[in-house]
Structure 1
């Protein structure tokens, strides 16, 4: 039936019927929905009209069938019909403009992996994530040629309803004089162009079957759809499936989509469908007095112990509340957690278990799942030579959780930009003429291995990990997981592991994973807890008391070790809010603050402990050196400067043996001095003029 209507003169009927639909469709309140929408379009100086597919189906089911089966012909007629209505409303505005009806909300959504040759020439709807974005280009749609023999200029293709394909095919006969001889010159500045862009859309992680590779499809954008999306955006696209050849002589073709409309999905875990029945179960579950314990017990139930780590994962899954300030600045609500530990302590299993219950997650390794690594990169298309922007794991996880194993193995490029991704939650790129800022509003759960294979408790945390201090300091919670030999614990662990292999039913999660996933999504979307005055006072008192504990360390210069900074205070706020979210509470109480302080204190005592003094010094994490080490580094630097400037007239260098001797007179051990020299050299504060002879920069 659809094909019959589009044969011969009956194509006019499509335009007329669509025009009738736009002029007469009314809402339940009796308003002319699309007449008003067209007037708004004119007032806002736009050229696209969004049309809901369900409205067209309700008004004229046959017309909606034609749209799905013969979209190219339909859209051409519909565009003319829309222009006629615009001309009636505003003849001046309609002059010289192309108007496009953009259809949204098709009843069926195709999986990207299911799109095949049967869909060619059909209108389909897909969901996915934008992974690549090519820069905006200008595409010639109608060429202006000059025939050198008769001097006439003409449009090509001659039919004004047709547009150029991928290549410019020159005319063989002049449509003005009718002769085929002579040269046809392309008049570029008089030809007709539109904005055009190419993006790559990949299946969403939750749509990929287990063990399968995510599939992608190339999507072409034109006119006002250009620059509407960025890598990492989750989109719903309606478009026409087309074919493009690998080469002019090839019989193989690849599929692409010519987008008709694009809708950006909200980044609030919309893909988790929660029914009224689910909501009742969630609210009932939240009233359980042991709900927090049950949530923690439902994370990796087959892994023995590690309760603090499981609690940290639970807090990360629920997250704090992001704040948008009046001045435009934003404070993140996402919680970042890092596990560092010996081989065989279940770090990777904890990460994989998290991926099973997280509503939206991207799981990868430090090397990155793509050439874009963990953040984003500008790459070159080997086929066309064009540069394009590709999103990495943190950008693809925008609005969810990025789970990264082997975090210490990430590339140098990622190390340079991951600070911004973790704190400002954006990724800025400016390379090869492409400049963009991408959103990376994701919680980061990472695991890494110690630098020396096994964690050495005689060294500081920073010395054990192959990560720069600025990256480490961005994590809210950091845990060291050691494989300690202890007979009683080893017996219990062995019994537990053996039970998991012989009696699987015993390790059923307290809360079904599907329900827990919905519970987390519901909490993140609807629960925005605020700190009570009591909770605020508790956090404030803890912060002030911790800071005050450093006063008795005063040195001659007045310098002191810093036990805690405002960065940890902000982390405490996020942890307190996350604790409240676990119970679906709109207020974060004193009880939540106590729980947050407990886990933060545990972390600080584990990784922020100065091994010499036994005191907490956050500088170990923030700068990679303890208060005592920083003081020795300062003395070494000052000594080098004074010897070179005062004793040697600003020339030459100072031998390491002389530095050791002079500071030895102040009872500073040789190994501490040499360690300070090494750190200053690695930080670029001193240079080695010749073997073991240094000068300040």
Structure 2
């Protein structure tokens, strides 16, 4: 691999005039010129031929001995065949990276830099550069240089001494053993989200990678690619379909990866000095937590949990192959306007591999993997979705509650097993999705309804909720002091374009990323005394959970997954301190975060289910149950399941009335019979009318449910 850095040529610009700009404007021609110079400078071989050498070396050695194919002092070999190197140009450091949509026809043939995210990577296949033939009559070898996608094979031997002189034709046969192949990979890159104008679809570009640059990129990598922008005509059936159109591609010469995995980042001496200072800082946990989205006011416990999600626990594989995940999953549930989406956006930017997606904008296939037909080989290939692109990173899913149930089930396996099992179009495989899930969801009624239980508000299946290590409920409660501080913070950010001054200097995201990369290399263990403490804590949690279930206060389920969640959070805290073992303090902090995530649920449940409010809630359930039972009876009658006489009597009145309408006479009789008063009934109707759950019609004679909200 021979890399010509344009920076070096630019440093000698006084002697080479405008050579750099000429190279950038006509790169293909200069590759050929540079290769010719390198061929002249290349010294002759210093060792004799052996059976371990390539076929072409043996043929070349034989010809030199026979001296029968040398014409004018030059051997009749294509240049590609004799070169033992690949020549690449590295662009200038100050060369601006273009978005895919900024690449125009004026860039054809020029060396440019394009920025994007890798979406599809093909397998590495051998690309034919020089084809070899053997003559059946004279035994001589003939070589054909191939530069296009298609070629016409040679038929007639070119040996002037025998075959051409005797007029022998059709004696050549292709010999793969003496051909020259180059590793080839086709890659698709897509525009970054910040480069796409509003309302436009992200554009893609085809990338061709040769030689030593193959296998450097994976789906999900954000890359700067320096290469030559070239046209390529369609061939075969594609040409018939395309007509006069021509495709374009980028022939890559340099790959620069921006957001790599945690351990792959380059550390400068300046960054190393700052990291050493942070290691000695005893308050690193709070400092890092407050440095996460400092423009967003409050939510300190949530930010601490998000910091631990970035660090993660230790992933373990047991002797029999059982895998215990170390990645932490968090769900943020809460009212609109509490900055859930902003926290998710910040986390996707600070993580080396962060993918942000929304519930309504994602299908199950878009999250896991899609089966596509490869345009090069015409085979069925898998194209990874958001969870595969976020491998070894974080997948942020906003509007989690708006997802279709069938799409949401695609996440179940990822959250616990960290794999995606695919059986589509004859492809049965398992893809890695070692990612942390950070989800944000709104309650069922848009805002959190304090008059119904938290389980009804959350509206997510228990099987999914148990896979989250932490579930935070963030409510927008009106209190004078908090509202005043929040308003002051927001107005300050709007006026000054940055957050107010904190007690300490905010840690930059780059420094935080490097610190986390070093912390993730630690594998802290749990000592026996701490293990006993965890066991006691888990038994206590199970006991409390059992008592809550007995008192109908339980809103979350404590299981073995809770125990593993505590261990993951504690290991993450130990990693943050660069410790090799977990301490009691780490377990206490993990239990505190667990308690914080449940506290809001319990507090609101206990505060809001006071005697008068619990009565309102009971009456609401009674009326809603009447509506559900009435609707079921009507459906049975329509299907012919009810008694014949009853059907004949009620069919006309049933068809006139709406399924979602109840008579106030029936409601009043049912509620008063249940032991409630008229005042309590009217208060319930008024409160839920304010919430748009139902409304009175026909001058208050009937009550109709709002089907959208109820």
Q: Give TM-score scaled by structure 2 length.
A: 0.60
1:570 aligned onto 2:564: yes
Distance 1:467 1:165, change over 3 A: farther
Counterparts of residues 239-638 of structure 1 (less than 5 Å): 242-245=230-233, 250=244, 253-257=247-251, 267-268=261-262, 270-271=264-265, 273-355=266-348, 357-368=350-361, 373-380=366-373, 387-410=380-403, 414-434=407-427, 437-457=430-450, 459=452, 461=454, 463-465=456-458, 467-486=460-479, 489-502=482-495, 507-508=500-501, 515-526=508-519, 528=522, 530-531=524-525, 533=527, 534-549=529-544, 563-606=557-600
Per the TM alignment, residue 542 of structure 1 is displaced from its structure 2 partner at its CA by 0.8
| Residue deviations 1:478-497 (CA, integer Å, cap 9, x gap) | 11222334455445544544
Partner of 1:163: 146
CA displacement 1:659-693 (0-9 Å, x = unmatched): xxxxxxxxxx9xxxxxxxxxxxxxxxxxxxxxxxx
- Alignment check: 8 A CA contact 1:428 1:438 kept: yes
Would the aligned equivalents of 2:89 and 2:254 in 1 still touch at CA under 8 Å? no
1:394 Cα deviation after fit:
2.6
Name the counterpart of 2:208: 220
Task: Kindly state the Cα deviation for residue 342 of structure 1 after the two structures are TM-superposed.
Answer: 1.9
Give yes or no for contact 1:319–1:578 (8 Å, CA) kept in 2: yes
Does the 8 Å contact 1:580/1:592 carry over to 2? yes
Distance 1:600 1:380, change over 3 A: same
Deviation at 1:596, TM superposition (A): 0.9
Instruction: Decide whether aligned partners of structure 1 residues 115 and 487 sit closer, same or farther in structure 2, where only a CA change above 3 A counts.
Output: closer
Stretches of structure 1 that go unaligned for 5 or more consecutive residues are 1-49, 146-150, 179-183, 615-652, 656-668, 670-697
- Distance in structure 2 (CA, Å) of the matches to 1:562 and 1:412: 21
CA distance in 1, matches of 2:300, 2:309: 14
Using the alignment, how far apart are the partners of 2:448 and 2:547 within structure 1?
Answer: 31
Change (3 A) 1:292 1:71: same
Secondary structure (helix, strand or coil) at the match of 1:599 reads helix
Q: Deviations over 1:264-309 (max 9, x none)?
A: 99622534x5422222223323433433223222233333332222
Whether the aligned pair in 2 keeps the contact of 1:75 and 1:101 (CA below 8 Å) is no
Is contact 1:123-1:238 (8 Å) kept? yes
State the 1:579 CA deviation.
2.4
2:161 aligned with 1:201, yes or no?
Answer: no
Whether the 8 Å CA contact 1:196–1:223 is kept in 2: the answer is yes
How many residues get paired? 548
- Offset at residue 257 of structure 1 (A): 2.3
Please list, as runs of the form range in 1=range in 2, the aligned pairs for 1:57-96 lying within 5 A after superposition. Answer: 70-71=30-31, 88=48, 90-91=50-51, 93-95=53-55
Structure 1 residue 346, shift from structure 2 partner: 2.0
Question: Kindly tell me: are residues 520 and 538 of structure 1, through their superposed partners in 2, closer, same or farther at Cα, counting changes over 3 Å?
Answer: farther
Change (3 A) 1:76 1:432: farther
Structure 1 residue 599: Cα displacement? 0.7
TM-score (norm 1): 0.61
Distance 1:328 1:544 in 2: 28
Structure 1 vs Structure 2 CA RMSD: 5.7
What displacement does 1:240 show? 6.2
- Please give the alpha-carbon distance, in whole angstroms, between the structure 2 residues aligned to 1:290 and 1:231: 37
Aligned to 2:654: none
Of 210, 213, 219, 1:231 maps to: 219
Q: Distance in 1 between matches of 2:32 and 2:406?
A: 44
**What are the Cα deviations for residues 422-480 of structure 1, in whole angstroms up to 9, with x where unaligned?**
33333343433555544333322221122332233455555434544333322211112
